[in-house]
Structure 1
Amino acid sequence: MIFEYRNKKITGLLTIVPKNIRTFDEEMENYKADKARNKRLKMVMGYEQHRMFDDDVCVSDLAVYGMEYMFREGWLKKEEIDALVLVTQSPDYFMPATSNVIHGRLGLSEDVFCMDINQGCAGFLVGIMQAFSLLDQPTVNKVVLINADVLSRKVSKADRNSYPLIGDAASITVLESCAEENLVQGEICMDGTRSDMLIIPAGGFRRPSSCETAIMHEDEEGNSRSLDNLVMGGREVFYFVQTEVPKLIEKLFGRIHMTKDEIDWWMFHQPNKFMVDKLAEALEVPYEKMPSNIVTYFGNASGVTIPTNVAYNIGEKLEKEEYKICFAGFGVGLTWGAMVMDMGKMDFCRLIEW
């Protein structure tokens, strides 16, 4: 799908990360592979530490905390919000929609439109697309996009493929209509035939959680997980990313008649440092323009890695200057997409801990 928007911009971004830090070295005893092999994995993948919220913290808690922080700072007023879009794979409930829960806890107006979107690694892009589409309506001038996931509790601590990289986080992005044309262009693709590459097999209506789905099983690499845990086909996902993402970006840049040298920053989803660095090489982009340090310091919080990347690596710059940025997200679905836009001179672009 090709998409294009005009007269719209991002004016603020806040990322919320946990204070709770767990290091790879501390958790090595959980994994069956020998320590030398684990240390090699740490070096190649960029594993150092990751952050998780306590088990009683849910997505609505993060959203309310972040929104109230923004209200106190004077960055946003309740009466300015026309729509609230939540992108998450870890909702508070099956029903009602978690965006409605957030709406109620914040005491927003009955005129505020709310919706949940179930998307993961490309969720920031999907959320921006939905928010910009809402801004096409004459009565919508400001949309709040929330990306949040607390998926760490769905990953087995004995799974060396997934647990060292998983993290929790939330972000709140303010998107507005503007007088400037500010052209936004992008493409997004989906392939449901490969949806089982990243999956939590049990817990939904297809296979409800039970005593049987909670039984731990060990795979041929010594990783233990149950059907209630995330399963990731690591090799298959790596091949998918390295094959499909560069191809899509080359196609996008050819269509919009832009060279890669015109991009100031490449803000990509970060499954791990190795994968992002390999993408930089494939696209012939300097490492310093495509940061790959989010999993190293925070962990992979699915779609929230992109706004975390932005706030942590260039947040201060974006409050003062304007840059041309290429966003890219890829993963669960399978879904992959890229977006080019001007971004900067923002009201705020910060990262806080909770």
Structure 2
Amino acid sequence: MNLKFRNKKITGILTVLPDNEIKFEDEVDNYAFSRSQTMKLKLIMGYNKRRVVNEETSISDLCVFGLEHLFNQKLLGRDEIDAMILVTQSPDYIIPNTSQVIHGRLGLKTDMICEELSQACAGYPIGLIQAFMLLEQEEINKVVVLNADIFSRKVSKQDRGSRPLTGDAASITIVENDTSDNTIYGSINTDGKGADALIIPAGGFKTPSSPETAELKTDSKGNTRSLDHLVMKGDDVFNFVQKVVPPMINNLLDKAGRKKEDVDYFMFHQPNKFMLKKLADKMEVSYERMPNNVVENFGNANSVSTPTNITFNLGNKLTKESLLICLAGFGAGLSWSSLLLEIGNLDFCEIKDYKI
């Protein structure tokens, strides 16, 4: 589905990363493979280190920490927020929405909207699109989009396919109305037939967690996990990304009347270095214009990987100038989404460590 918005802008992006860092080498012996085999995987996939929370830290902790930082630095007014959207698949509770928990912890005004979107890899553009739609209302002038996930606690320690790339993080993006007469182009796509390509089979109402779902089993590739853990069909996800993302971006550019050469940066979701390099090659975009270095430094925190990509690679630049940026997310669902918009002259674009 193609979408179009006018007179909207991003005014600030903050990424919150737990300061607890785990190196790839520290977990090599957990996997049922030789050390030499696993180290080859590190080189191919770009694994190095990742940031993860401890057992006591929830996504509301990361989001509250980040918002309090913005309040204290006078970068955001507590009473300026008219709507707050939380994009996550690791909420604090089933009931209530974690966005409402964050609202209460911060003591925000009651005359505002709190929403929660259950989205993973494609969630950053989708959250922004929801914010753009809310800004069509006369009484909404500023929307806070929160992206947060702590999936490290749902990945088996003996899963070589998913464990080395999984990180935890949160991000805060401020979205406001604009008077510059700009146009933002977007798209959202879904194929639920591939929903089992990225799934946690147990823990929901369909298959509640139990002693049976916690039983560890080893698959044909040597990864040991339970039904309570994340299962990723890596080959299926890779093929899906290579198949659907290039035509999505071509369609987006066509709708906007732009060429690939017009785009300053392609800031995409970060599944791993190998997949992004292959995607850049297929799209004939240089690695410099499509950065692929988030997983090796922080891990993949679902939808947060996209704003982390922005703050890590373009943070200082985006506070001084404006760039035409193509955003894209793709993965669980299966879903894929994109946006083409000008981002720049931001009030802030930075990374803040959360002390565990």
Give the TM-score category using the shorter length. over 0.9
User: What CA distance in whole angstroms lies between the structure 2 residues aligned with 1:25 and 1:182?
Assistant: 47
Following superposition, the deviation at residue 257 of structure 1 comes to: 1.8
Segment of structure 1 superposing worse, 171-180 or 245-254: 245-254
Query: How far, CA to CA, are the matches of 2:273 and 2:250 in structure 1?
Result: 22
The TM-score with structure 1 as length reference comes to 0.99
Superposed, 1:178-197 pairs within 5 Å as 178-197=178-197
Unmatched 5+ stretches in structure 1: none
Please state whether the residue corresponding to 2:9 is helix, strand or coil. Answer: strand
Q: CA deviation at 1:288?
A: 0.6
SS at 1:64's partner residue?
helix
Equivalences for residues 201-350 of structure 1 within 5 A: 201-350=201-350
In structure 1, C-alpha distance between the alignment counterparts of 2:8 and 2:234, rounded to whole Å: 37
Unaligned 5+ residue runs, structure 2?
A: none
Give, as a single letter, the amino acid of the residue that structure 2 aligns with 1:336: W
Cα distance in 1 for partners of 2:14, 2:156 equals: 29
1:98 counterpart residue number: 98
Runs of 4 or more off by more than 6 Å in structure 1?
Answer: none
Q: Distance between the aligned counterparts of 1:21 and 1:296, measured in 2?
A: 12
Q: CA deviation at 1:39?
A: 1.2
Equivalent residue number for residue 62 of structure 1: 62
Aligned residues: 354
Equivalent AA in structure 1 for residue 248 of structure 2: L
Taking the aligned partners of 2:240 and 2:334, their CA distance within structure 1 comes to: 9
- Quick one: percent identity of the two aligned structures? 51
Counterparts of 2:246 and 2:145, CA distance in 1: 27
Give 1:116's aligned residue.
116
Residue 27 of structure 2 is matched in structure 1 by 27
**Could you tell me how far apart the structure 1 residues matched to 2:267 and 2:217 are?**
37
Whole-Å Cα distance in 2 between the matches of residues 56 and 38 of structure 1? 30
Deviation at 1:228, TM superposition (A): 0.2
One-letter amino acid matched to 1:346? L
**TM-score normalised over the length of structure 2:** 0.99
Question: Residue 203 of structure 2 aligns to which amino acid in structure 1?
Answer: G
Conserved? CA contact 2:252–2:340, under 8 Å:
no
Distance 1:236 1:85 in 2: 30
Q: Name the SS for the 2:15 alignment partner.
A: strand
The reply to whether residue 72 of structure 1 matches residue 69 of structure 2 is no
Question: Partner of 1:162 in structure 2?
Answer: 162
User: Quick one: distance in 1 between partners of 2:252 and 2:326?
Assistant: 11
- What is the root-mean-square deviation in Å for CA atoms of aligned residues? 0.6
SS in 1 for 2:108: coil
3-state SS of 1:336 partner: strand
Structure 2 letter corresponding to 1:165: L
User: How do residues 144-159 of structure 1 correspond to structure 2 at under 5 angstroms?
Assistant: 144-159=144-159
Q: CA deviation at 1:254?
A: 2.1
